[in-house]
Structure 1
Amino acid sequence: MTGKLDGRIALITGAGRGIGRAIALDFAAQGAHVAAAARSQDQLDSLVKEITAAGGTATAFSADLFNRSAAAELVAEVKAKMGAVEILVNNAGIGSSAKPAPVAEFDDDFWDSTLQLNLTAPFLLCKAVLPDMVAAGWGRIITVASINSRIPSVHAAAYNASKHGVMGLARTVAVEYARAGITSNCICPGPVKTVMNNARVQYDAQRKGVDHDEYEAGLTPIGGRLVPEDISPLAVYLASDDAKMVTGQSYNVDGGIVMS
């Protein structure tokens, strides 16, 4: 039995935990050779061990995408060790919960670091992988954005701006490279049970003065929060040949929060 991504080389950033880890596991199960990138070597080693134990293929790449030069260096290292990147998943990101504040009080350094990781790094990664994708006549770029690409959260100016921006970047790539056999799409998750979102839910519950569990239970019309495994099947589809005519799209996976 063959997988939907057999033999494809897939670079996934932020792969150590949460949504990135779930995508890496699903990609490997579908036959992709996974280049798993993150800052935490321990998390990457655990992921690679899990994938290889299941019969898949994965290689860990330690990368700090807060460093502007890291994107091009990462793509070059993957190419040297595994081959040219055919599927790029821009998943690494920083949320708003580390330093939430109204716009007039927002920390300038936190603004800069958020835009670097959430917007500039995906731009630089796209820039680095696109030449090989064009040469091959095939490529998939999937960007994990957010429903905050469409609607804002309070006290999250940098996160909101970066996620609106990354959707624009993904659509620009889509229109510029459609004839080259390359697709570019966004997945826009709602609240997902991750370390990053846990802190945001706790902050919002405290800010509103409501019970944490009751607040979490009402976050989506369906009820509660998503889990990373709710996101990864869509990433598999968008990375596959099944989605060859799908580009420039942004899909909400959010339990019904944003219905557009």
Structure 2
Amino acid sequence: MPPQHPITLVTGASRGIGRAIALGLAETGARVAVTARSAEELTELVDAIENQGGTAWAIPGDLIEKSATDQVVAAVEEHWGPIEILVNNAGIGSSSDPKPIVGFDDDFWELTLRLNVTVPYLLTKRVLPGMVAAGWGRIINIASINSKVASLHGSAYSASKHALAGLTKAAATEHAAHGVTVNAVCPGATATLMNDKRLEYDGERTGQTIAQLEALASPLGRRIQPDEIAAAAVFLASDGARAINGQLINVCGGRVMC
């Protein structure tokens, strides 16, 4: 049976998609631990959740640090108990340093794969034993449509998100018999600060205005909103999604249809 108030960890929760997911899960009654680098933004998020009657707890920190993944899980376990819903949202986008492969920075490649793939792997590995023991768990990876198609001048991002898709499917295959489902949400261009930077880069590269690029972001003629991504994640965390496993769910307004 699913827990009534599942213990949840959302990474990269201080803004954008992660913040929207934390708010959405709290509305369902989940106890939500949120982590990110900005203590101030996390405090604001916890206040927002508590003001709407929810339960939240902030754990500021940088998951790039080698010991951080174990520490954040241990902190949640000590505070509330074993994690029952894990949302791997923290990541680095292609907007941070967009370049062709030939000119790509090797250190940035390593950093991108570390945060976008290795950190979700380590967190998944850490929480799975508790989920298996309980006979119930949800792991939701925030991937990208670039898990399926390439990102121009974003080789590290595209490679990392393809790898995250593979991790999703492997974990889903191994643990479904124990009541644990693992899925990924694949956002298209979403109205976040990260995507704003990408639009600025694409505008400089193509000569198009931001408004023109936003209109081309999807067949809807607009970018996706963070709460629209959150709605998919919240459903995948629910018992109603118990038969959905190993799937890469596009939320992109039809920009990618595979």
- TM-score normalised by the shorter chain: which range applies? over 0.9
Q: Contact (CA 8 Å) 1:5, 1:31: kept in 2 or not?
A: no
Alignment match, 1:194: 192
1:56 to 54, 57, 72: 54
User: Is 1:19 matched with 2:17?
Assistant: yes
2:214 maps to amino acid: E
Alignment match, 1:32: 30
Comparing 174-183 and 216-225, the one that deviates more: 216-225
Alignment match, 2:129: 131
1:225 to 220, 223, 226: 223
Q: Percent identity?
A: 53
TM-score, with length taken from structure 1: 0.97
Q: Contact (CA 8 Å) 1:145, 1:189: kept in 2 or not?
A: yes
CA distance in 1, matches of 2:35, 2:173: 27
Cα–Cα, structure 1 residues 233 and 89, in superposed 2: closer, same or farther, change >3 Å? same
Alignment match, 1:120: 118
Alignment of 1:152-167 (within 5 A): 152-167=150-165
Alignment match, 1:90: 88
Q: Deviations over 1:131-161 (max 9, x none)?
A: 1111111100000000000001111010000
1:183 to 181, 195, 201: 181
TM-score, with length taken from structure 2: 0.98
CA distance in 2, matches of 1:7, 1:120: 28
Q: Contact (CA 8 Å) 1:190, 1:257: kept in 2 or not?
A: yes
CA-CA distance at 1:235 after TM superposition = 0.8
Q: Contact (CA 8 Å) 1:5, 1:239: kept in 2 or not?
A: no
CA distance in 2, matches of 1:255, 1:52: 32
Q: What is the RMSD computed on CA atoms of the aligned residues?
A: 1.0
CA-CA distance at 1:5 after TM superposition = 7.0
2:228 maps to amino acid: D
**Secondary structure in structure 2 of the residue aligned to 1:26:** helix
Alignment match, 1:150: 148
CA-CA distance at 1:244 after TM superposition = 0.9
Alignment match, 1:203: 201
Cα–Cα, structure 1 residues 209 and 5, in superposed 2: closer, same or farther, change >3 Å? farther
CA-CA distance at 1:6 after TM superposition = 3.3
CA distance in 2, matches of 1:151, 1:202: 21
Gaps of 5+ in 2: none
Q: Deviations over 1:187-245 (max 9, x none)?
A: 00000011111100111111011122112112111111011011111111110111111
Where in structure 1 do 4 or more consecutive aligned residues deviate above 2 Å? none
2:186 maps to amino acid: C
Alignment match, 2:248: 250
Comparing 211-220 and 133-142, the one that deviates more: 211-220
1:213 to 211, 216, 236: 211
Alignment match, 1:77: 75
2:162 maps to amino acid: H
CA-CA distance at 1:177 after TM superposition = 0.5
Count of aligned residue pairs for this structure pair: 257
Q: Contact (CA 8 Å) 1:93, 1:117: kept in 2 or not?
A: yes
